[in-house]
């Protein structure tokens, strides 16, 4: 979908969108031939301008029938325009309309760009495997023109567009089935980031074995798909930032649970158990695409967890790259085994001051938070506050959970340094405590459990049913607010 900025409404526009607030609706001057009729019809339908309300009608304008969409936003909330932009697309994406004109004459440049951004995010969908899609179900919108504040909004747009492209990459990786996206093909899907200036390094199984990554490789040993570690480096500071920010993503491209096999019902969803790695890849694309003035390293531990005759068994003991030993009581608690080696590796090789890992790690976090927030665990109040603020600003919301020695004791093993699961209670916390054992002194670390937020069973404000792209906007905002001057 093409995004354009103009000072006048294009003649070919067949959807006309207007933004109002509750206080401005009654006196709003619609630049329409039938302005009063539109206003009166909206009021008759109980549209009052309350934030989140929307209204669509078909009316005649310049001798042709067009769709007119009214969207109510909160007073002074630029971020609300992002959701409203998504609402436009949700209403007309498959309607037969081809060109949306967003009237932004009464908006700030930021609000206008946010509206176009929301429309772009919401427009993403994957239809390439649908060979018999009805014509009435196919997307028809080809262009969105933002009318008014053209020069100022257009100047802001390249950064928004880059983030949207990062979110699109994440949605693509998460949506693809496991026979298409597996460790090797995940790496291939990210090769185009080189064109944006991202330095890419890939570790294969032999290299990881030589480094002693027994935890990560133990998860992969039951699959015919070989494990990979994908490392993406972006330095937009010209070497001025000595220590990078590190993002580490869990990339289990399909999770059967291994020998501790999952129930069959719903197992198909486990194609998105690489949502953390998908978010890291998308964030790296966003940062490089907008030429972020920051030094960031993204690491994705990529494996497939399968239950063949060579698979890891409950009760096995593995040695991690850090030298710590792990008693594997449940092979379905595999994500932490992947992450612990990836976390240790990035600290050994890049000495980051800040490390943030993202993982669809526990079902327990969904019990706690549902699908509205991701869980946040951190050894640093400063880092936690910065991530929470970035979550609120971006729309990728976080909620902090505790860490303590009392919880840490729950994963002590009688025959190894630790076990990979604790008791039934506090499952998300003990998983985070496990990861914290691989964080070096002085490193500010946060773990984001995103199991409830990477996939949606119903459409949201800026995503359709399916992959949400969670994490990309969050990480990009975190970098923009704290590491770019």
Catalytic residues: 262, 336
Rounded to whole angstroms, the Cα distance separating 175 from 278 reads 10
| The three-state (H, E, C) secondary structure of the chain, written as one string | CEEEEECCCCCCCCEEEEEECCCCCCCCCCCCCCHHHHHHHHHHCCCCCCCCCEEEEEEEECCEEEEEEEEECCCCCCCHHHHHHHHHHHHHCCCCCCEEEEECCCCCHHHHHHHHHHHHHHHCCCCCCCCCCCHHHCCCCCEEEEECCHHHHHHHHHHHHHHHHHHHHHHHHHHCCCCCCCHHHHHHHCHHHHHHCCEEEEECHHHHHHHCCHHHHHHHCCCCCCCEEEEEEEECCCCCCCCCEEEEEEEEEEECCCCCCCCCCCHHHHHHCCHHHHHHHHHHHHHHHCCCCCEEEEEEEEEEECCCCCCCCCCEEEECCCCCEEEECCCCCCHHHHHHHHHHHHHHHHCCCEEEEEECCCCHHHHHHCCCCEEEEECCHHHHHHHHHHHHHHCCCEEECCCCHHHHHHHCCCCCCEECCCCCCCHHHHHHHHHHCCCCCCCEEEEEECCCCCEECCCECCECCEECCCCHHHHHHHHHHHCCC
Beta bridge partners of 101: 16, 145
Q: Please compute Rg for the chain using Cα positions.
A: 24
**What residues contact 448, with CB distance under 8 A and at least 6 apart?**
276, 356, 357, 358, 359, 374, 375, 376, 377, 387, 398, 471
Q: How big is the chain, counted in residues?
A: 485
């Amino acid at each position: 979908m093409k995004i354009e900025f103009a000072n006048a409404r294009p003649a070919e526009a067949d959807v006309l969108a207007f933004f109002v607030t509750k206080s401005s609706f009654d006196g709003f001057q619609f630049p329409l031939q039938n302005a009063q009729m539109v206003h009166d019809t909206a009021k008759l339908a109980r549209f009052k301008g309350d934030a989140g309300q929307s209204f669509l009608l078909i009316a005649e304008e310049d001798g042709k029938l067009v769709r007119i969409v009214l969207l109510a936003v909160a007073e002074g909330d630029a971020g609300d325009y992002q959701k409203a932009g998504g609402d436009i697309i949700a209403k007309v994406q498959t309607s037969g309309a081809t060109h949306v004109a967003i009237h932004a004459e009464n908006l700030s440049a930021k609000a206008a760009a946010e509206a176009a951004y929301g429309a772009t995010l919401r427009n993403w969908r994957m239809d390439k495997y649908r060979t018999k899609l009805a014509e009435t179900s196919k997307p028809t919108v080809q262009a969105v023109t933002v009318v008014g504040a053209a020069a100022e909004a257009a100047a802001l747009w390249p950064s928004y567009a880059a983030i949207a492209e990062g979110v699109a990459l994440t949605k693509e990786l998460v949506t693809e089935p496991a026979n298409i996206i597996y460790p090797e093909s995940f790496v291939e899907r990210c090769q185009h980031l080189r064109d944006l200036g991202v330095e890419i390094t890939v570790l294969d199984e032999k290299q990881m074995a030589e480094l002693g990554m027994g935890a990560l490789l133990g998860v992969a040993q039951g699959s015919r798909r070989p494990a990979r570690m994908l490392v993406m480096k972006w330095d937009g500071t010209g070497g001025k930032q000595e220590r990078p920010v590190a993002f580490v993503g869990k990339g289990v491209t399909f999770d059967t649970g291994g020998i501790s096999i999952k129930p069959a019902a719903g197992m198909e969803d486990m194609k998105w158990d690489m949502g953390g790695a998908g978010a890291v890849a998308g964030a790296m694309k966003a940062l490089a695409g907008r030429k972020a003035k920051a030094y960031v390293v993204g690491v994705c531990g990529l494996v497939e967890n399968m239950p063949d005759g060579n698979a890891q068994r409950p009760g096995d003991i593995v040695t991690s790259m850090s030298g710590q030993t792990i008693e594997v009581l449940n092979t379905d608690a595999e994500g932490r085994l992947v992450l612990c080696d990836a976390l240790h590796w990035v600290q050994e090789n890049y000495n980051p001051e800040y490390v943030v890992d993202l993982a669809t790690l526990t079902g327990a976090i969904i019990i706690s938070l549902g699908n509205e927030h991701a869980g946040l665990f951190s050894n640093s109040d400063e880092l936690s506050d910065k991530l929470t603020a970035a979550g609120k600003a971006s729309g990728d919301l976080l909620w902090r959970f505790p860490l303590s020695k009392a919880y840490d004791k729950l994963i002590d093993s009688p025959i190894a340094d630790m076990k990979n699961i604790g008791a039934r209670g506090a499952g998300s916390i003990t998983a985070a405590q496990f990861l914290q054992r691989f964080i070096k002194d002085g490193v500010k670390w946060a773990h984001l459990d995103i199991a409830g937020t990477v996939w949606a069973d119903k459409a949201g404000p800026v995503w359709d049913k399916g992959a949400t792209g969670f994490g990309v906007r969050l990480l990009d905002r975190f970098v923009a607010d704290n590491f770019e001057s």
